[in-house]
Amino acid sequence: MRIALSYLTAALLFTTSVLAQNLGTLQGEARDALNLSPLVGWEVDVIQGDFQLETIVDAAGNFIFEQLPTGLYNVRAKSPKGQMQTLHEVQVRSSKPTYVSLLVEHITSLDEVAVRADAFHRTPETPLSIKNINRSEMMRMPGAVLDLSKVIQSFPGVLPKPSFGYAIAMRGGAPNENRYFLDGISIPTVNHFSIQGASGGAVSLINLDHIQGMDLITGGFPAEVDDALSGVLLLEGRNARTDRWGIRATQGGTDYGITFEGPLGKNTAVTLSGRNSFSQHYFRLFNIPVLPAYQDAQLRIHHRLAKNKDLTIIGVGGWDQYRLYKDGRGSDALLYNVGYIPEGDQQTEVIGARYRIFKDNGRWEYVLSRDHVGNQAEKYIGNTGNLGDRQLAYASSETNTRANLTHYVVSEQWQWKYGLNFVHRDYDLDMTSVRYNNDETVQRIDTVDYISALS
């Protein structure tokens, strides 16, 4: 009898534990998108099929739902006047609280305004050409495998896959006509193994663990975006959890990674991640002549200085190498490719900060950043590595220092944006190319040494 009672007690405890693990917490804030003022008194609902719960935004602009069954929810904020904002497919997990930020666009009612919650939100500047993609949709995108570039290429207006290479082309434009921003900070590319001065590459450089959502704009670009001709990608960073430190490990199709996130004091949260590739190892099994390898790291720090001031610091680094598989099975194709393809390295590094001051009728935004892209490549006759057999030596470096000031102002009937933008570019190129005759005598040596600075 005691044994049966013990088994029954253990079963009840196990069932209670399992049920507790299937419950999670959803918390967040509801604020005006322009000045971050709290939307006090707004109603926030979580909806999953016929299931619905509601709460009211408090004086600080926060709301919380506890003991929610895990799964996907639509989170809707509604004002007493009927204005609504909806976040679709928010994932609630039992492992950690889910944090969302509902930023509602400022709307001025002249006669009558009908507000509808669409899957893609539209701004007054870009009513038809903007596509908003949230975190849950990016994570479950078929075939994306946690790759940002594959997520982008699945949407209308973006070329799914060029006939050669991995360039990201929007609306038929060239790959170098796109601009990318992470938390308002310009980044030169979103991919590993990208072409310098353009975009695209075999694997995404941006870790989706850092991203809350993104806006893909293919026309009618915002006034503060410069030098964009074909497309703009605005990435919104995800705030780290503030209750305790957590860790997440991921494995994609070509790499594995780890992400740390947690609080650094009362008003500061940090997310840090790193990834390393393993594709170069199984490429050997298929006798592929080039073995690409890459590593990347990403950092995001968000600090709330005051109720109306915040500071965001980001760092992105990617390091790529491509080496020849000289020990592979000696097929004609392998010998041919190994004979002319060079070996090289590429570095992509970005560091930047964004400081915002929110006012009742708008906000000030200051951005300071520095980005660097470097490429090196070498080729030797017979891949000997001897200086006398060198055919190609290539080294290039492009560094941009950027400063931006933007003032957003909202009046009764208008929205104004004005500011200043400064960019200083340094470009270095050092290349030596040796051409040989059929008898392996030197025919010509071409040398280029170029340095420029432009502001």
What pLDDT, in 10s, does the model give residues 12-25? 444 444 444 689 99
Q: Is 20 exposed, middle or buried (0-12, 13-18, 19+ CB in 10 A)?
A: exposed
- Of the listed ranges 62-71, 393-402, 430-439, the least confidently predicted one is 430-439
By CB neighbour count within 10 A (0-12 exposed, 13-18 middle, 19+ buried), where does 454 fall?
exposed
CA distance 15 to 236: 39
Contact criterion met (CB below 8 Å) for 209 and 264 = no
Tell me the residue type at 123: T
Residue pair 124/115 in contact (Cβ under 8 Å)? The answer is: no
Residue 197 pLDDT > 80: no
pLDDT of residue 346: 94
pLDDT at 1 over 50: no
Q: Which of 9-18, 189-198, 361-370, 445-454 shows the lowest per-residue confidence on average (mean pLDDT)?
A: 9-18
Structural domains in the chain, sorted by start: 1-119 (2.60.40.1120), 125-454 (2.170.130.10)
Q: How confident is the model at residue 110 (pLDDT cuts 50, 70, 90)?
A: low
Encode burial over 99-136: b for 16+ CB neighbours within 10 A, e otherwise.
Answer: bbbbbbeeeeeeeeeebeeeeebeeeebeebbbbbbbb
Element (H, E) at 403: strand 390-410
User: What number is the average pLDDT over the span 229-248?
Assistant: 90
Conformational region of residue 145, where left means phi above 0, alpha means psi within -120 to 50, and beta covers everything else:
left
How would residue 453 be classed by pLDDT, with cut points 50, 70 and 90?
confident
The strand ranges marked E within 93-156 are 98-104, 130-134
> CA of 15: how far to CAs of 4, 9, 24, 206, 421, in Å?
16, 10, 17, 40, 60
Instruction: Find the mean pLDDT for residues 261-289.
Output: 90
pLDDT over threshold 90, residue 345? yes
Output the pLDDT for position 176: 82
pTM for the whole structure: 0.81
Burial of 81 (0-12, 13-18, 19+ CB in 10 A): exposed
DSSP 141: -
237 or 174, greater pLDDT: 237
- Residue whose C-alpha is closest to residue 269's, from 235, 308, 310: 310
Average pLDDT for residues 245-249, to the nearest whole number?
92
Query: Mean pLDDT, to the nearest integer, of 178-207?
Result: 84
CA distance 317 to 210: 14
Cβ(379)–Cβ(391) below 8 Å: yes
Does residue 419 contact residue 405 with C-beta atoms inside 8 Å? yes
Return the pLDDT at 275. 95
Six-digit token string for 135 = 């975190």
- Confidence tier at 386 by pLDDT (50, 70, 90): confident
